[in-house]
Amino acid sequence: MNREYIESLMGEIDFPADAQDYFKDCMDKLEAGFLSEFDGVRDFFFEEERDWDGWKDNVSPLLEKLAEKSGIHKYSLEMLMTLELSQSMKASFEEKGYAHEVFIETCGDFTVKLHECKSVYGVWGTFVAAWYPLLFYGKIVKLGRLEYEDFEFEYDVVYEKCGLTVKKGDMVKSLHIPSGAPLTRELCFDSYKQAHEFYEDDLVDGKLICICDSWLLHKSTAEILPEESNTVRFVRDFDIVLNEDGDGFPDRWRIFGRDFEKPDADLPECTSMQRTYKRYILAGRKFGSGMGILIFDGEKIVNV
């Protein structure tokens, strides 16, 4: 465990002081008798290129066993392992010539997940560490408000617009939406412009092609939220190609925080968003996911 690196990174990405002190205590416990096991999990991760399932099925159970032995919460160990493994992302970014500021901004996602974990489960850590292998391998970059992933288009759809064609197997940018800041039009367009410049070598006919596959792009978002909301305005940036209903609402923790597991009738109504989503849930309406395409020429979106 590279403690000096972890402590430095926590400061650079603005972990709260209480969280930093907490993780220093956790590292003390690991160094007192469990360091070889922690380092063993780190080394195990790199034995092969692990993805979401590789983390969930292989890495997470090892950390759960270490949590039982050490008395450190599993989610806290998942965050410590995330910070430790981010060294590989740092090396990848440096190899590609990315500025250190881009690395730090991308690592800011850890801080977002830290606060989400504290809000939902009352502990400093992360409960979505399986998402992070993409970052460890340097495949995601955060530019302003949004994150961009090098992505091979995998859908059985042929999209033709603005003289461009997007088909299965084409390389595009998959856009991710971290929480933690307003999704304003100004911030989104600033991010699109940064991405258009950053990915200059990947442009197609001078245009940046992005996709977004998210619960936010499902038709339920426009049915629940007011037309002038930042989220609905963001969704309108995309030409929605697919919309699929799902079972239940697995993302309800994003709306209801630590109360998300309560029965539908007992969900909190502390905010206008919670009230509108609760009404939608109680009405038995469907949630799901949508996939949309955005084509940006450096100044404007040209396909919607």
At residue 34, the pLDDT reads: 97
Tell which wins on pLDDT, 130 or 74. Answer: 74
Mean pLDDT of 58-72: 96
49: pLDDT strictly greater than 80: no
The mean per-residue pLDDT over the stretch 3-16 comes to 98
Q: What pLDDT does 47 receive? A: 86
**pLDDT value of residue 46:** 87
Instruction: Show the tokens assigned to 205.
Output: 């006919």
Where residue 52 falls among pLDDT bands split at 50, 70, 90? confident
* Mean pLDDT score of the chain: 94
For the chain, how far is it from start to end, CA to CA, in angstroms? Answer: 48
Output DSSP code: residue 204. B
At 259, give phi and psi (nearest 5°).
-95, 10
Confidence of residue 50 (pLDDT cuts 50, 70, 90): confident
Whether residue 7 contacts residue 20, with contact meaning beta carbons closer than 8 Å, is answered with yes
Question: Per-residue DSSP letters for 164-192?
Answer: EEE-TT-EEEEEE--SSS---HHHHHHHH
Q: What is the pLDDT of residue 68?
A: 97
Mean pLDDT of the 110-118 span: 95
Asked if residue 295 lies in contact with residue 301, where contact means CB atoms within 8 angstroms, the answer is yes
Looking up tokens 């109360």 gives: 259
Q: State how far the Cα of 75 lies from the Cα of 137, in Å rounded to an integer.
A: 21
Model confidence pLDDT, tens digit, residues 170-211 = 999 999 998 878 899 999 999 999 999 999 999 999 999 999
**278-300 in b/e burial notation, b at 16+ Cβ within 10 A?**
bebbeeeeebbbbbbbbbbbeee
141-246+286-296 under CATH 3.40.630.120, yes or no? yes
Q: Choose between 46 and 117: higher pLDDT.
A: 117
Q: pLDDT value at position 180?
A: 78
Dihedral class, residue 106 (left if φ above 0, else alpha if ψ from -120 to 50, else beta): alpha
Task: Assess contact for 20 and 14: CB atoms under 8 A.
Answer: no
Contact 162, 117 (CB under 8 A): no
Judge whether residue 23 has pLDDT over 90: yes
Average pLDDT over residues 14-37: 97
DSSP alpha helix (H) spans, 71-156: 74-96, 100-121, 133-136
pLDDT digit string, tens, across residues 230-268: 999 999 999 999 999 998 898 898 899 889 999 999 999
- Burial string for 227-266 (b: 16+ CB within 10 Å, else e) reads eebebbebbebbebbbeeeeeebeebbbbbbeebeeeeee
pLDDT band at 54 (very low <50, low <70, confident <90, very high): confident
Torsion of CA 3, 84, 86, 169, to 10 degrees: 170
User: Which residues are 289's β-sheet partners?
Assistant: 244
Helices H, strands E: what count in the chain? 13, 8
Amino acid at 182: P
The mean pLDDT of 85-98, rounded to a whole number, is: 94
pLDDT more than 90, % of the chain: 85
Residue 48 pLDDT more than 90? no
For position 257, what pLDDT does the model report? Answer: 87
CA distance 48 to 235: 36
Write down the domain spans for the chain. Answer: 3-136, 141-246+286-296
* Spatial separation of the C-alpha atoms in residues 196 and 207, rounded to whole Å: 7
Under a CB-based contact definition with an 8 Å cutoff, are residues 1 and 39 in contact? yes
131 pLDDT above the threshold of 90: no
